[in-house]
A = this chain, B = another copy of it.
Amino acid sequence: MSNFDALIQDLVIANRILAKEEVVDAYGHVSVRHPENSNRFLIARSLAPELVAPEDIVELDLDGQPVREEGRSLYLERFIHAAIYGTRPDIMAVVHAHAEDTLPFGIAQGTKLRPVIHSGSFIGTEVPVWDIADNFGDTNLLVTNMAQASDLAKCLGGNSVALMRGHGFASAARSLIEVVRLSIYLPRNARALMRARQLGGEIKCLSPGEIEARNRGYSPYSVETWRAWEYWANKAGCSHLLTRPDDGRAHPPRG
C-alpha cells in the first residue's frame, strides 16, 4: 500500500474513532493536510463520520473548494479547515466537532477551560472562546465562508483549541493521531474540571512547565501513541484498517 493510500485509511480510522468516542455524531469532521501539496487537504464528503469509507475522501484547496470536479455534497463548514491550514503551516490535521461536554465552557462565562489532567495537556495553556456574533452578528452559528473561518483561525492564533460559543470547538495538531487524541481528551478534561469545581476549594491546573514538558516529550511515532490508536480503532470496529509495517512493530500513524 502506498503512503498516500495508507494516509487515506488513517483518515477513515480517525473518522470512525471520533464517532465511537462520541466526539462527533452526525456532524463534525476531521481532515489532514495533503502530504505532497501543502495547499490542499483531505476530508470526507458530507457524511456522518461513522459511515466514512476511503472513497468518500475528497481533496480541497485552502479556499475550501474541491480540487477536482465534485458532484457530491461537501461539508458546509469545510472552511474551518481551510482557514486553519492557511494560517498555520505547522498544523497537519484539524477537527471540528460539538462534543457535548465542551459546550458549557463556551456558554458560561464563569470558568475558563484549562488543562487539569495530564492527558488534557495538549489543549495548551490558553483556550480562546470565539463568538461568531462578535463580528458577524446574528447568524445560524455555522462557519460557512472564508471570512468567518478566517476570523475563527485568527482567534485560535497559535493555540491548539478554540471553543466556539454555543456550537463546539476547532482543534489543530501536528499529526492526525495527535488531533484525534486531543479531541478525545478535550471533553474528558472538561468533565474533570467541571466536577473538580463542584468539589470546591482551589483547583490545581497543570502548570505551564508541565504542559511544556508533556509537549516536548510527545511523539506521534512512539509505542505509547500507537497503543491508544490501536485501542481506539479496535473499539471502533476498524482495527482491520490498521496498517503495520513488516517488522511487526508499531507502525507510526501517518500525517
Which residues of A does B touch, CB under 8 Å?
Answer: 25-27, 46-48, 50-51, 73, 76, 98, 100-101, 103-105, 107-111, 116-119, 121, 131, 133, 137-142, 165-167, 188, 191-204, 206-207, 209-210, 212-214, 216-217, 223-224, 227-228, 230-232, 234-235, 250
Contacts and interface: CB of A to CB of B under 8 A. Distances in A.
5 contacts: A104-B195, A108-B196, A137-B209, A141-B206, A141-B210
A237 to B, nearest CB: 13
B118 A196 contact: no
Given A133-B210, A192-B100, A213-B138, A76 B198 contact: no
Contacts of A26: 227-228, 230-232
A194 B204 contact: no
A107 B224 contact: no
B107 A196 contact: yes
Contact of A200 (B108, B167, B228, B232): B108
A167 B130 CA distance: 29
Nearest to A120: B166
Nearest to A105: B199
Contact of A194 (B195, B213, B232): B195
A234 B108 contact: no
A27 B101 contact: no
A176 to B, nearest CB: 16
A138 to B, nearest CB: 3
